[in-house]
Amino acid sequence: MATTVTSKGQVTIPKPVRDLLGIVPGTEVEFRRAADGSVVLTRSDRKAEPSRFAALRGHAGVGMSTDAIMALTRGDEA
């Protein structure tokens, strides 16, 4: 895969490479020189890729209290 360097020295990492390494916006990458003189691109943040469900996490807002939910699921009269 080839890419072009911009006037600012920037390149776009091809999508297959981003997918392979799990690179998403905000991921830190590292360039290092290998023993054979080639340059290797790796993730440097070592963080797990965010779950595809991460945006769905949270709470439903103000509503029933925990005690009320427990009473409802147990069939208790609250």
**For the domain bounded by 11-48, which CATH number is listed?**
2.10.260
CB atoms within 10 A of CB 72: 12
pTM (2 decimals)?
A: 0.51
Are the beta carbons of 59 and 53 closer than 8 angstroms? no
Alpha-helix runs per DSSP H in the chain = 15-21, 66-74
Q: Which pLDDT does position 64 carry in this prediction?
A: 77
More reliable by pLDDT, 3 or 75: 3
- On the CB side of 63, CA atoms within 13 Å amount to 5
Q: Which pLDDT does position 77 carry in this prediction?
A: 65
CA 27 to chain centre: 8
Residue 44 to residue 19: CA distance in whole angstroms? 15
**Mean pLDDT throughout 10-25?**
92
- 3 state DSSP class of 57: coil
Q: Which pLDDT does position 18 carry in this prediction?
A: 92
